[in-house]
Amino acid sequence: MSDHPITPGGRHLLESLRLQLPGLKKSEGKVAAVILEDPNRLLHITVAELARLADVSQPTVVRFCATMECDGFQDLKIRLAQSLTLGTPATQSAIAQTDTADVVVEKIFDYTMTSLDWARHHIDMSQMDAAVEIIIHAKQLEIFGFGASGIVAQDLQQKFPLLGLPCNATLDSHQQLMAVSMMDTRGVVVAISNTGSTNSIIELARLAQERGVKVIAMTGAADSSLGDHVDVLLNVETLDNTDLFTPTTSRIAALVISDILSTLVARRRGTTHNEKLVAMKRRLSQARRAGSL
């Protein structure tokens, strides 16, 4: 990502607002508090009204805009509007038993999209590039994961046409051990664990490295112990909270990373490879039309 996660003038106004709150002057703090209290309200009020709500003068509001690196009050509104589209803080709240079905749908979508946006702004491109580099030179991919991460593993495996090399997704710990034992140094292990602390996955990574096999890890926790035994750590930060009903967005973010990874690799493969892809897609749709699928 070219721009850094938290730039005051950047897209994530609400985020940076909350971050800057403690360091603000007293009056500007009052303004910030009013905005955070109900961000949607701001979109339809004037400087005068905001000044009245925060109990400060109008110029203070204008000065506050400048502090937030906005080009005037209108610009603040627009920045906030953009920031607000992705999950209002209020909407991020947990799902309550009393919510109607409509609200549940709304909240889950909001939550998922906000989480994806978060992941997007926390991607480490250098690690991504490193992963692509490793896969480009690999002859075989062994993908490991359990539970939800097993789903991700299979999804990545299904992208082998894009990746352009044989891929296995192994979800059984015994078979995983066997697979690693039989690999040569031209193979690459992709270890997927959302927590990054699944013991058997860590052990597999260690073993692979010991045998000279390169390891790419996909995880949702940067400082996990899995990170100690890998060549590349694709960290997929999400907002997973531990609430009972909150869906696990980590797996969805991981799928997007899987999309990105396979696309980046395919791009590097060159024209002849892409021609094969086109032919493959054509045959698939022909088979469908012919009724054989």
Partner DNA sequence: CCGTAAAATGTAGCAATTCTACCTTCAAGG
Partner DNA sequence: CCTTGAAGGTAGAATTGCTACATTTTACGG
Contacting residue, 1, 7, 25, 281, with DNA by CB under 7 A: 25
- Is residue 207 close enough to count as binding DNA by CB under 7 A? no
Smallest distance from DNA to CB 26, Å: 3
- Is residue 48 close enough to count as binding DNA by CB under 7 A? yes
Written as six digits, the tokens of 156 are 């990545």
| Nearer to a copy of itself (CB atom), residue 101 or residue 272 | 101
Which residues is 190 bridged to in the sheet?
Answer: 143, 216
Footprint (CB under 7 A) of DNA, residues 70-109: 72-75
| Nearer to a copy of itself (CB atom), residue 86 or residue 183 | 86
Written as six digits, the tokens of 254 are 């991981």
- Is residue 28 close enough to count as binding DNA by CB under 7 A? yes
State whether the Cα torsion 43-44-49-52 is positive or negative: negative
What DSSP string describes 175-238?
Answer: HHHHHHHH--TTEEEEEEESSS--HHHHHHHHHHHHTT-EEEEEES-TTSGGGGG-SEEEE---
Smallest distance from DNA to CB 9, Å: 15
Written as six digits, the tokens of 37 are 């209290």
- Is residue 62 close enough to count as binding DNA by CB under 7 A? yes
Burial of 95 by CB count in 10 Å (0-12 exposed, 13-18 middle, 19+ buried)? middle
Burial of 113 by CB count in 10 Å (0-12 exposed, 13-18 middle, 19+ buried)? middle
Smallest distance from DNA to CB 81, Å: 13
Binds 170: which of DNA, a copy of itself, none (CB < 5-8 Å by kind): none
Binds 25: which of a copy of itself, DNA, none (CB < 5-8 Å by kind): DNA
Measured CA to CA, the distance from residue 50 to residue 56 in angstroms comes to: 8
CA 128: distance to chain centroid? Answer: 13
Contacting residue, 16, 32, 60, 253, with DNA by CB under 7 A: 60
Amino acid sitting at position 115:
S
- Is residue 58 close enough to count as binding DNA by CB under 7 A? yes
Which part of the chain contacts DNA (CB under 7 A), choosing from 12-20, 50-58, 156-164, 246-254? 50-58
Binds 36: which of DNA, a copy of itself, none (CB < 5-8 Å by kind): none
Smallest distance from DNA to CB 76, Å: 8
Contacting residue, 57, 82, 181, 185, with DNA by CB under 7 A: 57
Amino acid sitting at position 106:
E
- Is residue 46 close enough to count as binding DNA by CB under 7 A? yes
Phi and psi at residue 70, in whole multiples of 5°? -100, 155
| Nearer to a copy of itself (CB atom), residue 208 or residue 261 | 261
CB 76 within 8 A of CB 68: yes
Of 21, 54, 22, 43, whose CA–CA distance to 88 is shortest?
43
Which part of the chain contacts DNA (CB under 7 A), choosing from 3-11, 60-68, 82-90, 225-233? 60-68
Of 188, 240, 124, whose CA–CA distance to 180 is shortest?
188
| Nearer to DNA (CB atom), residue 47 or residue 177 | 47
Smallest distance from a copy of itself to CB 170, Å: 15
| Nearer to DNA (CB atom), residue 59 or residue 212 | 59
Contact set with DNA (CB under 7 A) = 25-28, 46-48, 55-60, 62-63, 65, 72-75
